[in-house]
Amino acid sequence: MKLTPRFALDSLFLTGGVFLLVSSMAFAPVTAGRLAFGVATGLAVVAGLSAILARGTGQKVGHGILAAAGLWSLIAALTFTGTTLTWLVFADAIGLAAVALADLAGHEVTTERVVHELVVKGTPAEASSQPTLVA
């Protein structure tokens, strides 16, 4: 099975969102803000480039929304402080993870995932040449 770039990127975005979700509650607000700034910057750049270079409309929309969410997280990390920053990083991480999960689900729905199985139980010629019993 081949790993598509969209699946890999969506998995990366989901991992980044979950990392920020945990770090927002595990670290002090200043540290969580710095982590959010770094992770959101990386995710926004990668998602923006992916949205620009994508061929499919679904990927363009999904990664465009992820880029916008990453930009908002970046701005919030630079603007707010204290408890407000902690909860904004937490909420932004939930948003990033939710959008990434939705785009990942959209990818799995649109990708052809059909397995064809052929079972041969004899040829039609064999079936017609067998004698039939008449009572």
pLDDT of residue 113: 47
What average pLDDT does range 11-25 have in this prediction? 94
Q: What would the CATH number be for the domain defined by 5-129?
A: 1.20.120
pLDDT tens digits, one per residue of 54-96: 888 888 998 999 999 999 999 999 999 999 999 999 999 999 9
The set of long-range contacts for 83-92, using a CB threshold of 8 Å and a minimum separation of 24, is: 83/29, 85/29, 85/32, 85/33, 86/24, 86/25, 86/29, 86/32, 87/24, 89/20, 89/23, 89/24, 89/32, 89/33, 89/35, 89/36, 90/21, 90/24, 90/25, 92/20, 92/36, 92/40
pLDDT tens digits, one per residue of 97-127: 999 999 888 877 765 544 434 445 566 665 5
pLDDT of residue 134: 59
pLDDT of residue 87: 95
pLDDT tens digits, one per residue of 35-44: 999 999 999 9
What average pLDDT does range 26-41 have in this prediction? 94
